[in-house]
Amino acid sequence: MTYDSALRQVGEFGTYQKRLYVLLCLPFITCAMQVMVTVFILGVPDHRCAVSENDTFAIQSPQHQLMVNRSVPPGEFPLLSPYSKCNLYSYHSNNDSNPEDSRFIRKCSKWVYEKTDFHSTFVTEDDLVCHKKSYVTHTVMSFMAGFMVGALVSGVVADSLGRKKGLLLSLALHIIPNIIVTFATDLLTFMCLRFLAGASVGGLLAVSFTMIMELVGPSYRMMAGIALEQFWAVGALILALLAYLIRDWRYLNLAVSLPALLFIPYICIIPESSRWLLSRGREKEAEDILRQAGRVNKRKLPEKLFDYEDVFEDDACIPVLQLCVNPKLLFRSVIIFFNWMVVSMLFFGLSLNVGNLGGDIYLNFLLQSLAEVVGYGIPLIALKSLGRKPVYVGSLLIGGAACILTIFPVLYGDASVHWSVIGLSVIGKIGSSTAFATIYLFSAELFPTVVRNSAMGTSSLCARIGGMVSPYIAVINQVVGGDLGVAMPLLVFGLFAFVAGLLALTLPETKGRHLPESIKDSVQYTDQTKDILRIDVTEASQPLTEDTALTSVANGVTISDKK
């Protein structure tokens, strides 16, 4: 009996699996909050140079208005910002008769900030504006870099020392640095702690997803892998409420970090992956766990649960570079890797861009979070009926087109049509969420079995690169001013998404198909190919289908993170 056959005896998604499934999905909630809280703790409110020691951004009196007008030059785009954000007037003391002729412009060193949206952010405390504004983007990028490093390191730990140890290491990073960052007072400390926070998110998503795939039976893996995305959306919705209620960045960061303490009991209640134990020759421990699952699921198990010599099907792998041996396969792989980068860039970039859309940032963020709920729900309904390719390509093209179209109301409309910019951005977020939920399954089914694990790991690396690039695209408005600057980030995201969607049209559909196992199978795999199935009596009882694509990922020794 193979491992998956044993899971069918135990119950593919019984009470035991459902309990652990929920527990392993809960970290997705706090991970979403840690990723998205960047929007608020690094928020940049409207600001101008301070004209006195006790100056405020809000005008207090006619005399205050006169002082500001005399001391602060007009902004480059007066309709968007009436006062310069970085410059002050200074006057020569020897020409009092005509002050305007004696004044000159200089850089300021102290600022006052608008308090409507944020009472306090790390940006306002450390004055990360004007000549320091690039530090904000670098800090966001450091979080995304930690995301990538965390996924890689936790994968090595989980593969060599055990899934549970990888999970507990990521949880420790998820708790300690995130709480400590609340008390950070300098940029370097803040940036290093946020790097560790990113590493914890990358590790948690990678290990939790892998443990879920190894826990659930083959028939339920696709739905389980997509449904867990809703936990991420719940985290974003909770953050929207917390951010609206808590306008001080330190208290907000503490509010999204402390819930991770609830994961401490995981030390006792989350078991090691029985699949990993079997792969390391620890058969007795693995069988004890599965028999416990059988008891909870009220299933009667045979006396001999495994033939240990044949517990895993033949899973010989070859290096991912073998994808380069055939031009057709290389072209297809490059398209998949590019799509992973673009989907990640689009997903995270739209979230980071909510502060640039204008209007109420909290309402914008709430709408984006609701868009994720919708976007993650679409694959649960559409994948079985429409197929992978139509859902994926359609979501990218619609989302990309929506982002591109925002340029028209921004450049040619007025305040009365601002709602259309928000609406198009929400459609873009729905598209990116649907694409993110679909690409993992779609690409896993396209890669041949012999390189699937390593190819998915490479795909994950490309996604992390896209996440690291996204904050720089989101701040294009700091380089390109005016209305065009508002539209540029969405335009760039949309163009990338549209190109990726068009390229994905060249990929074959995988719905209801036997999947490629060898390099040769993959080369022959096209939309016209009805089935790819190795003629082998040992495989006849369980052909490689859509439900076992994720199984072969779970069978491997490389962990690829979902987000």
| Phi-psi domain of 512 (left: phi exceeds 0; alpha: psi -120 through 50; beta: other) | left
The strand pairing partners of 48, in sequence order, are 112
Residue 417: DSSP 8-state:
G
State both tokens at 306. 């495994």
> Between residues 23 and 302, which one has the greater pLDDT?
23
Q: What's the CA gap between 426 and 32, in Å, rounded? A: 18
Q: Which amino acid would we find at residue 536?
A: D
Of 385, 384, 367, 346, which is closest to residue 501 (Cα–Cα)? 346
pLDDT, residue 505, reads 92
pLDDT, residue 333, reads 87
pLDDT, residue 538, reads 31
Site of tokens 């102290």 = 110
Report pLDDT digits (tens) over 281-332: 888 898 899 999 999 999 888 877 766 555 554 445 556 666 777 788 888 8
Report pLDDT digits (tens) over 143-171: 999 998 988 888 888 888 888 999 999 99
| Beta carbons of 474 and 353 less than 8 angstroms apart | yes
Quick one: average pLDDT of 342-358? Answer: 87
Summarize the chain as % helix, strand, coil (round to 5).
70, 5, 30
Within 13 Å of residue 275, how many CA atoms lie on the same side as its CB?
26
Quick one: average pLDDT of 127-147? Answer: 91
Q: Could you tell me how far CA 22 lies from the centroid of its own chain?
A: 20
Total length of the chain: 563
Residue 423: C-alpha distances to residues 36, 52, 357, 449, 498 (Å): 20, 41, 11, 41, 18
> Between residues 232 and 409, which one has the greater pLDDT?
232
**Kind and range of the H or E run holding 330:** helix 327-352
| Beta carbons of 2 and 146 less than 8 angstroms apart | no
Q: What's the CA gap between 192 and 427, in Å, rounded? A: 34
The strand pairing partners of 103, in sequence order, are 91
Secondary structure (3-state) at 360: coil
End-to-end CA distance of the chain: 33
Phi, psi of 45 (to 5 degrees): -75, 165
> Between residues 302 and 199, which one has the greater pLDDT?
199
Q: What is the CA radius of gyration of the chain?
A: 27
Of 403, 208, 432, 402, which is closest to residue 340 (Cα–Cα)? 432
pLDDT at position 40 over 80: yes
The strand pairing partners of 87, in sequence order, are 107
